[in-house]
Amino acid sequence: NNMANIQFKALPSNSPSLFPENIFDRIPLNHPVRLVNQVVDQLDLDHIIRLYKGGGTTSFHPRMLIKVLFYAYLSNIYSCRKIERALQENIYFMWLSGNSTPDYRTINYFRGKRLKGQIQELFASIVRMLHEMEYVSLKVQYVDGTKIESAAGRYTFVWKKSVEKNKVKLEANIASVLADIDAQITQDQSTLGNQEVSKAIDSTQLKEKIKAINAKLKVANKSTDKQLKKLEDDYLPRLQKYEEQLKILGDRNSYSKTDTDAVFMRMKEDHMKNGQLKPAYNTQISTEEQFITHYSIHQTTADTTTLPEHLEGFESRYGKQSESIVADAGYGSEQNYELLEGQDITAFIKYNYFHMEQKRKHKQDPFSVQNLYYNDQEDFYVCPAGQKLSFVGQTTRVSTNGYAAQVSCYQAQRCEGCPMRDGCHKAQGNRLIEVNHRLAWLKAKARERLLSTQGLYHRSKRPVEVEAVFGQMKSNNKFTRFSMKGLEKVTVEFGLMAIAHNLRKWAKKWESKTLIGKPGGNNSLFAINQAISVMKSTENRLAA
């Protein structure tokens, strides 16, 4: 046998040791789990602790559970059963929880119930720490939205239009049956006054009506009985169901039966890439330096309408508004421009056709409204053929979300026989144009800002900011669908996700700069503690 003598390494645990090892010493000093521990230790949790009732058995401390949840989301573990397992197997979780082992029900209850309405405050406190450490200035917000699918079943639609249509049909059926019964009764006993039945009947009226008919029907009549049964067993419950559905819908056009807060939205991603309607929520975030500085969740599909509420939330969290807002064309509406104008915020927000307008084809089209000559003094336009389009009146256009805009209308006198007619307009008769002067002025202002050097800087940075954050959340961390139902719980879940994103980012910056043992670097544990104690003392001063 000419093989060399093979030596295998001895297993370290098999030889007895004089001093047993502390397994937690294996956690590196610059591991993200230490950052999570550090940050959560500084959070003020009074608002959560106040909700505990006391009495009964002992509770796990919310600070420990919050650490565990933050670290779980940071490690892309979103399921409570998997968190439970990690607490028994994973040394980082064991160290963080101080060897506590809450089960998945406890973790789930804490996440869904205890953090409800509290998560935004925790999120904001962490952003304030980041602000204190000068990672974010809160002076600029890059805003964008993405749709995240709800946990609801995908095929349980309720559509407002079809509910309304069916309800009208049902009401007609009810009215005709009631008329029939009335006719029967009048025939049987002509003494009864004939009551007129209204076309649109609601379920309470219908119940009253059935009661009245029952009272009248001393003499049983076979055919009337059958119709009455139909009213009671079929029509009444259906009417109640439609009323209930319309109540849930409110202003929305749709909802899912298995998560009534979710709305059907057209989603971009699908393996067929054809955009599916799925129950979802529209999540809006503000970022700066790829940290998420604010988030809000909406039940409307379009981004345009979400901005006012989103900015209001930012202001109420941090007590001040940013100086500039950067967003894409999805937000460029008259309402939003007016809002930002009124609050003295510098807006770098594109509008539809912003890029089209920069193209030569558009600039050289003599017939487009922007390029017509306008006489400001006497309020008229002149077309390329030299004809005057004079002011014919004002009208109001109301957008889908109820914002009313003033438009002025101008019309030419005689277009027939004009040699330029073909290139000018397709309408019959004389050309009529609608101009929103206020919007045109706001757009001109926006255009000037977007084309300035500062505008170009922000526009080149926007995709790197918000789009990158959504990319990290959805692609890298596989967060494409909520696992909890209802607006309040979805808010908790997205909040945890946003906090984890910020901590992950912070840990990256921190790992690269931590100087172990030396209180140096703007990032070491020492510096974090310094920053936090400064923040604490200013808060105490303010409180005093």
What is the reported pLDDT for 255? 92
Structure tokens at 428: 């019959």
What is the reported pLDDT for 519? 43
What is the reported pLDDT for 247? 94
Q: How confident is the model at residue 515 (pLDDT cuts 50, 70, 90)?
A: very low
Q: How far is CA 64 from CA 101, 123, 306, in A?
A: 11, 17, 35
**pLDDT over 60 (residue 184):** yes
Q: How far is CA 474 from CA 275, 430, 520, 540, in A?
A: 16, 52, 35, 39
Give the 3-state secondary structure of 82-94: HHHHHHHHCHHHH
**What is the mean pLDDT of the segment spanning 182-211?**
70
**What is the mean pLDDT of the segment spanning 240-259?**
92
Give the pairing of strands 324-327 and 140-149: parallel
Element (H, E) at 452: none
What is the reported pLDDT for 15? 64
- 482 backbone φψ class: left, alpha, beta (φ>0; ψ -120 to 50): beta
Beta bridge partners of 255: 158
What is the reported pLDDT for 518? 45
What is the reported pLDDT for 524? 55
- Which residue in 513, 527, 500 sits closest to 30, CA to CA? 513
- Long-range CB contacts for residues 207-212, cutoff 8 Å, separation at least 24: 207/236, 209/178, 210/236
Sheet of 404-412: strands edge to edge?
Answer: 373-375, 380-382, 388-398, 404-412, 432-435
For the chain, give the percent of residues with pLDDT over 70.
88
Is 426 strand, coil or helix?
coil
What is the reported pLDDT for 538? 64
Q: How confident is the model at residue 543 (pLDDT cuts 50, 70, 90)?
A: low
What pLDDT, in 10s, does the model give residues 360-401?
888 888 888 888 888 888 888 888 888 888 888 888 888 777
What is the reported pLDDT for 280? 92
Q: Which of 4-13, 192-201, 483-492 has the highest mean pLDDT?
A: 483-492
